[in-house]
Amino acid sequence: MKTLPELSSDLANGRTTAKKLVKACLEKIADPAGEGSRAFIKVYADAAITAARASDAARALGQVTSPIAGIPISVKDLFDIQSDITRAGSKILANAPTATADAPAIQRLRAAGAIIVGRTNMTEFAYGAHGMNAHYGTPLNPWDRATRRIPGGSTSGGAVSVTDDMAAATIGSDTGGSVRIPSALCGITGFKPTQARVPLDGAFPLSFTRDSIGPLGNSVTCCAWLDAIMAGATAETPTAFPLKGMRLGVPKTILLDGLAPEVADAFGHALNCLSAAGAIVEEFNFPELQREHDGSKKANFSAIEAYALHRERLALHVDEFDPRVAKRLLLGANIDAADYVDLLQLRQSLITSANLTTARFDALLAPAAPIVAPTIAEMESSDEVFLKMNGLLLRNCAPFNVLNRPCWSLPCHRFGDAPVGLMVVGETMGDKRLQAIGLAIEMALATKR
């Protein structure tokens, strides 16, 4: 799996063409033995080939708009694409009006020369960390595929499109971990920015308080390039932050509880690698995480805001929803308005307090998910198991959407082992600094995997 810089170099030096890259992706998607039919809800084969030919013709004339010009990517099904329907992984919106324009994030990627090969599958309405979809199927995790494991969600098809070379990178959303969780479970890299960094217009919402838009790819630089373009800036490779003397905090509160053995082993190995490289790794108490956890038991942003969005559809067409999604959405009807106001006030208090608690660190470290990918059969064994596993997958990531922090999920497992993601958390609006830190950590871990 090549990175965007490698593909960009190949294009610049004539080792490949945009048409060849796009055709290779389309062949992977169409392979009946592969995951294309489950990873994609719609494929733009003809449009992608036409765009690739135009990109190659422009390059021949010396017209290259950005480093990602001519590179095929996929986008999550919740983004508006002009003249197409935004289903958000649902059946109920299959006959909705078509979008009149691209979402701004997608428009910026197109303007930079990216070629969109298709819309990827997702948990219906992005409401779930598992990545399963009752309507369009569930793309299988690339690890231990014979046992049929979940890919993580809600950006499930996007993650699998990258692992299986059906796209060079993908664009997802992250409300409680929907970029980081599938990245962690599938063994790729994902970046959740500070919410305000990338415009949310034209992206079907889950929780307007917590939604953010981020990329998944094969490296930190892949994600940094795409993030910069979606933020309206120029794609630049980060300069690695010096590891020697880097101050890395490991929250002991909640995030390390009950880790699966594979996760504990990979996370411990990553900490040892970073310490050996000169980083100062310190465990600390993070009481704001406990306060957030306790507050979310009473009222939850996603439950309230998603129910408000879908309440009319639920009242009239509840049978057209995935039953498990509908059941969780309906929980929002029972939350008191006063509790929601309390939650909004708690969030502001937590952000202010947490900023002080973590100010002495350059970044925070934790496992992106406390478990490895469970099997689909296990998830479907009972509603109790389903809810427990979904909650575990969200547990470590979701608090940082409440705190509005940028985060990485970086692969930290040894080659051949179950994929595990290292979550690296920065400060609000400290995205570029966190990208430099992420690059340094990626380089340190790559030599020890």
DSSP assignment string, 71-121: -EEEEETTB--TTS---TT-STTTTSPPPSS--HHHHHHHHTT-EEEEEEP
Polymer length in residues for the chain? 449
Distance set, CA 155 to CA 123, 144, 210, 244, 359 (Å): 7, 19, 16, 35, 31
First to last CA, the chain: 16
Specify whether the CB–CB gap between 152 and 396 falls below 8 A: no
Could you tell me the two tokens for 198? 């990338």
The radius of gyration of the chain from alpha carbons, rounded to an integer in Å, stands at 21
Q: Which residues of 127-150 are buried (b: 16+ CB within 10 A; e: fewer)?
A: bbbbbbbbbbebbbbbbeeeeebb
Cα 329 from Cα 408, distance rounded (Å): 28
Compute the half-sphere exposure of residue 370: CA atoms within 13 Å on the CB side of its CA.
Answer: 17
Cα 58 from Cα 60, distance rounded (Å): 5
Question: Which of the residues are catalytic?
Answer: 76, 154, 178
Residue 286 parent element (H or E)? none
Cis peptide before 154 (omega within 30 of 0): yes
